[in-house]
Chain A
């Protein structure tokens, strides 16, 4: 069964450093998403991406964040100058069409120390 894969599974970084979280969406999907989940809280939308550009973003997704599809398979989330409050699980998701079932990866646990 096709799945969304994310690497690394756990990333520890020092405050102020930059991190790149990587995702390989399902191959025939065209819509890509990043969500985050702070421990014990709900899953929050960050950004959606289609046709090599951001289609929607939330208030959380400020200038500290950026996304990129550097090649035909990877979808990355870059967080610049990480803060302690960026510590969370970051989930990548993809869907074939808009407003259809989004498949989620297993997540990357980001710990900022």
Chain B
């Protein structure tokens, strides 16, 4: 099946710094990507999405970059806050279906 993986399982940043979370995917047919945030005991929460016809998308304090050449996705969080501490998953959806394949997750810890 598809493989979606993350480079780093954990990331610690100082409050106020920028965070970058990376993700590699293997399915060239994937055309839609989402970053989800999951806090302890809760379901995944949508952060931002991007389609394969774009290479960058910005939201409030977050930016997603997509590099289709190397099948790499990243999430940038500006001015990281303690409330950003969570596990972040990238998820890909192939153009052949509507399910999502999740990566293994990166645990972000923000140090006050």
Closest partner residue, chain B, to A109 (CB atom)? B41
B14 CB–A CB distance under 8 Å: no
Given A43-B89, A99-B98: A104 touches B44 (CB 8 Å cut-off) = yes
CB of A103 within 8 A of CB of B93, answer no
Shortest distance between the CB of B47 and any CB in chain A (Å): 10
Shortest distance between the CB of A110 and any CB in chain B (Å): 14
A4 proximity list for chain B (CB < 8 A): 43
Q: How far is it, in angstroms, between the C-alpha of A58 and the C-alpha of B89 when the chains are bound?
A: 19
Given A105-B43, A107-B42: A42 touches B89 (CB 8 Å cut-off) = yes
Name, among B1, B42, B100, the residue most crowded by chain A CB atoms within 10 Å (CB to CB).
B100
Q: Return the contact of B103 from the options A42, A50, A105 (Cβ within 8 A).
A: A42
Given A99-B32, A99-B93, A101-B49: A45 touches B43 (CB 8 Å cut-off) = no
Q: How far is it, in angstroms, between the C-alpha of A34 and the C-alpha of B97 when the chains are bound?
A: 15
Contact with A along B67-110 (1 / 0, CB 8 A): 00000000000000000000001010101011111111100000
Q: How far is it, in angstroms, between the C-alpha of A106 and the C-alpha of B41 when the chains are bound?
A: 8
A31 CB–B CB distance under 8 Å: yes
Closest partner residue, chain B, to A102 (CB atom)? B100
Shortest distance between the CB of A5 and any CB in chain B (Å): 11
